[in-house]
Amino acid sequence: MKNPSYTLTVELDSRSYEIIIGSGVLSKIGELLKTRFTGQRVAIITNETVAPLYLEQTSASLTQSGFQVVPLVLPDGEIHKTWTTVQRIFDHLIENRLERTDGLLALGGGVIGDMTGFAAATYLRGVPFAQIPTTLLAQVDASVGGKTGINHPLGKNLIGSFYQPCLVLMDVETLKTLPQRERLAGLAEIIKYGIIRNAKLFKMLENFLNDILELNPGRTAKVLLICCTIKAEIVTADEREQGVRALLNLGHTFGHAIESLTGYDTWLHGEAVAAGMVLAAELAANLKLCDREDTIRIRTLIQRAGLPVTIPQFPASAYLEAMTHDKKVADGKIRFVLPIRIGKAMIQNDVPKSILTKTLEEGMNPLHNPYLPPQDTP
């Protein structure tokens, strides 16, 4: 089959759900939700960017399956991932009298998915919801695993809950309308899976980067399957991030600090994670935990993908302060996920401040590349 579809299951006992990946599968959402939503109404939560592209098609599929659709179109952007916007979702649900058997459908990227999931977890103490992630980043990461929430001015995703969807449907055709910058941001999370868990995936990215950047349907669906399989395995083993699931945060401690310091309106999440992964690799090298050859490969692949490898110019003290507000802080210590080699990572809770500061300062210098030998001066 030229463009195959895949189905895999996130095994969580009574909260298990399927992830469906393929090309042109969006039109099936109505029939798929008939077996998952017992009520008659579906509130589609989307944004101003996605609505003109996919709201009509999604609504038509649901209507044909007998659902009454009540859409809500929100402003686009991480800056709107706030309590004020979630309150708009609550208002919409109450005004349309949605009941516990009715459902929510997140149609959009990670911001829409996180807010819709949080609203579903808390409205009437819990209603079912499904995800149609339309960005590469959301498909490989945010839509799977049940993390929901909103940002706080002092930190990213500090308010939220673990609440699993009943279905995640990924149509690779939706990626064709993504701006190039958004595609690259999603690629950062794919690279992350290769670093922490799958050396073969990392090698595939090195060899077939252009195919993935050009969204070859077969290659893209296969990569999505690999990433979602990794995440499903990790979530099944550690749903509430008490152990192995923390490895999924590679680059995120640094990345969330970047997003916070820049006001959530300058860097895309994937861009911040990309620079954060380079910094994590450099920190691992400075701690002598990771071989230089692997840190070179990490930096090189991220740079080849058109993603940032340096961080914004803020005082190191500002980064340290921002990281102390990260939700992954444990016992007052900043927790880092650091690569040991390609395909394996570890959690490090005790990093000397002097080495961390040195790594931050070097990471702000676009001319600093510790993996290249110094050039002879004439």
Active site residues per annotation:
125, 147, 189, 231, 241, 245, 249, 252, 256, 269
| Distance between CA atoms of residues 291 and 284, nearest Å | 9
| Distance between CA atoms of residues 107 and 143, nearest Å | 10
Place of tokens 């799977």: 144
> Could you give the dihedral angle defined by the CA atoms of residues 164, 120, 268 and 244, in that order, rounded to the nearest 10 degrees?
-20
3-state secondary structure at position 340:
strand
| Distance between CA atoms of residues 45 and 102, nearest Å | 14
Pairing, β 155-162 against β 147-152: antiparallel
| Distance between CA atoms of residues 201 and 196, nearest Å | 10
- Distance set, CA 371 to CA 128, 167, 285, 291, 352 (Å): 49, 44, 10, 11, 22
Polymer length of the chain: 378
Query: Is there a contact between 286 and 359 (Cβ–Cβ < 8 Å)?
Result: yes
3-state secondary structure at position 373:
coil
Query: Is there a contact between 186 and 140 (Cβ–Cβ < 8 Å)?
Result: yes
Rounded to a whole number, what is the largest CA-CA distance in the chain?
Answer: 77
Question: What distance, in Å, lies between the first and last C-alpha atoms of the chain?
Answer: 60
Spacing of C-alpha 102 from chain mean position: 27
CB atoms within 10 A of CB 277: 29
3-state secondary structure at position 333:
strand
Query: Is there a contact between 261 and 322 (Cβ–Cβ < 8 Å)?
Result: yes
Pairing, β 17-22 against β 6-10: antiparallel
